[in-house]
Structure 1
Amino acid sequence: MRSILASTLALALSFMAGSANAADLPDLGGRTIVAVTENAYTPLNFVDPKTGEGMGWEYDAFNEIAKRLNAKVDWKLSSWDAMIQSVREGQFDVGMDGITINDERKEQVDFSIPYMISEQFMLVRADETRFTDAKSFGENPDLLVGAQPGTTNFYTAVYNVLDGNEQNPRIKLFETFGATVQALKAGDVDTVLMDQTSANGYIGASPGSFKTVGGPLGSESFGFIFKKGSDLVEPVNAAIKSMQDDGTIEALNKKWFFDYASAN
């Protein structure tokens, strides 16, 4: 409880600082921004089991961005496999789901500046002893990895852990990121790749169920996505920068990656 109170105080202080800086940011005049996420990527976005409402790091961050820009947020949901295309077509103003910034996606959508940089690790069951890193996992043909198709985690599994064959039968595909973790917990697959921050969230949310093994398999930068040419990119970038400067991003990291994990 003490850590949660400390985090709440830190957030309050940083939000106050953010309000003081709001006059220096673009004013969107009360505009409503239609934002989309998946609610399946703990602790960035997921469903509160008590209320059924969406919550997480990205919710808090973008709600604060909108507040600083004098805008409102209308939250919507989309599956991961449809999200980039729907934002590209203008169905939503902004999308977020721990989306890695890369050149291929930049051809389809505009990105904000990175709001988070994370390294990928192998999440495994807590009692796992058959392998200790990507090399020993790859050498055992009986071991399976769970992944969502088209994600950075999928491609890292293919090219950094296995043999570069995207049709490798050792990769089991799932519609949602959460389903891959449930499959891992049930013993249907043997590892799931994810960024360290999300791994910490799952480890904290289910004590005694998971751990990470091996070293980082590469780093990735997360950004919000927009339709090409969106007039929201520059204002959102300015708000992100202000939140980095005044400590709000750091406070959100503490709240969701440390205090939330400890409390759950």
Structure 2
Amino acid sequence: MFKPLALASAAGALLAATPLLAQDLPDLQGREVVVVTENAYPPLQFIDPESGDAIGWEYDAMDEIAERLNMTVTYENISWDAMIPAVSEGQFDLGMTGITIREDRAEMVDFSEPYMRSEMVMLVRGDEDRFDDAASFAADEDLLMGAQPGTTPFYVGVYDVLDGNEQTPRITLFETFGASVQALRTGDVDLVLTDGTAGEGYVAASEGALKIVGEKLGSEDFGFIFPKGSDLVASINAAIAAMAADGTLEALNKTWFLDYKMGE
């Protein structure tokens, strides 16, 4: 089993003094909201290998938000590299896929308040003994990292682990996070960086094939994204804050980071 690295502390702070009650939340009167995701980032959102259903922390959270705000949600799927531009252009009302809140992205889309904080970890094969931290990985030029272009793990790998060269041949690029993990397992790359929520999940489901090494490489806050100027932001923020105040976010963390064992 594995645990969340934080409990939406920023969202909880919003209501530390005056918790919102359900009746204080906006009523969107059944408004239809199209939410786009990648379904490739367990345990936040992924395809259940047994049922084929899309499930995860973010789905449960969004369903709860929809109920509290009286909105109707439909889900669409898109690749990570297309998500932020598509939401920015208004093709979708909201995006969710463990998206790190960053200033450069905030120039293209609006972010909700954070709903989760996680820390970057180094995911390696279970039998890895050539390196055990970022410095020893960087020192061996034969070692390769897998990452999705334009993601936080990519930039942390470039600037915090390697030498700052975004064209480095030591990072092999993949279209999905899952593909980079598969390449790690088969030996095509030697390291994948990810936040602790996904990393601990993959370790728990790997039956010893994967492990986490080294110190954490920093923290990141996750938020939902919207087209710039979206009138949904305030309502979603109110729901996130209410869910933090009444323990719903913590209950979701327990469900997905303690009770649920991926792969079983």
Q: Which residue matches 1:92?
A: 92
| In 1: Cα distance, 2:206 partner to 2:67 partner | 33
**What value does the CA root-mean-square deviation take over the aligned residues?**
1.2
CA distance in 2, matches of 1:258, 1:188: 31
In structure 2, the residue matched to 1:137 is 137
Does the CA-based 8 Å contact 1:123-1:210 persist in structure 2?
A: yes
Instruction: Trace 1:24-103 onto structure 2 (pairs within 5 A).
Output: 24-103=24-103
* Structure 1, unpaired ranges of 5+: 1-19
Moved more, 234-243 or 206-215: 206-215
Structure 1 residues 47-94: Cα deviation after superposition (integer angstroms, max 9, x where no partner)? 011221211111111111111101111000000000001101111000
Q: 2:195 matched to 1:195?
A: yes
**Distance in 2 between the 1:26 and 1:252 partners?**
22
Greater share of helix? 1
Matched, 1:258 2:261: no
- The residue that corresponds to 1:246 in the other structure is 246
Task: For residues 189-211 of structure 1, give each alpha carbon's deviation from its aligned partner in whole angstroms, at most 9, with x where no partner exists.
Answer: 00100011111111112221111
In structure 2, the partner of 1:150 is 150
Work out whether residues 201 and 260 of structure 1, in 8 Å CA contact, stay in contact via their aligned partners in 2.
Answer: no
SS at match of 1:221: strand
Q: Secondary structure at the match of 1:240?
A: helix
2:140 maps to a residue whose letter is: N
Runs of 4+ in 1 over 4 A off after TM superposition: none
Which structure has more relative contact order (CA 8 Å, sep 6+)? It is 2
The 8 Å contact of residues 144 and 171 in structure 1, kept in 2 or not, is answered as: yes
User: What amino acid sits opposite 1:144 in the alignment?
Assistant: L
SS in 1 for 2:204: helix
> Which amino acid in structure 1 is aligned with residue 24 of structure 2?
D
Q: CA deviation at 1:22?
A: 2.2
Paired residues of 1:58 and 1:96 also in contact (CA < 8 A): yes
State the aligned residue count: 245
Report what 2:115 is aligned to: 115
Listed one character per residue, the Cα deviations across residues 70-126 of structure 1 (whole Å, up to 9, x for unaligned) are 111100000000000110111100001111101100100000000011110000111
Amino acid at match of 2:110: D
CA deviation after TM superposition for structure 1 residue 258, in Å: 1.9
Which digits, 9 at most, give the CA deviation of each residue in 1:149-190, with x for residues without a partner? 000000000011111101110100000011001111111100
Q: Could you tell me how far apart the structure 2 residues matched to 1:22 and 1:29 are?
A: 15
SS of the residue aligned with 1:261? coil
Unpaired segments ≥5 residues, structure 2: 1-19
| Residue 126 (structure 1) aligns with | 126
Using the size of structure 1 for normalisation, the TM-score is: 0.91
1:16-41 alpha-carbon deviations (Å, 9 max, x no partner): xxxx9321100000111100000111
In the aligned structure 1, how far is the partner of 2:127 from the partner of 2:119? 23
Residue type matched to 1:159 in 2? Y
1:132 and 1:213 in contact (8 A); partners too: yes
Task: Give the deviation of 1:263 after TM superposition.
Answer: 7.4
Q: Return the letter of the residue paired with 2:54.
A: G
State the SS of the aligned residue for 1:122.
strand
Residue 200 of structure 1 aligns to which amino acid in structure 2? Answer: E
Identity %: 64
What SS does the corresponding residue of 1:220 show, helix, strand or coil? strand
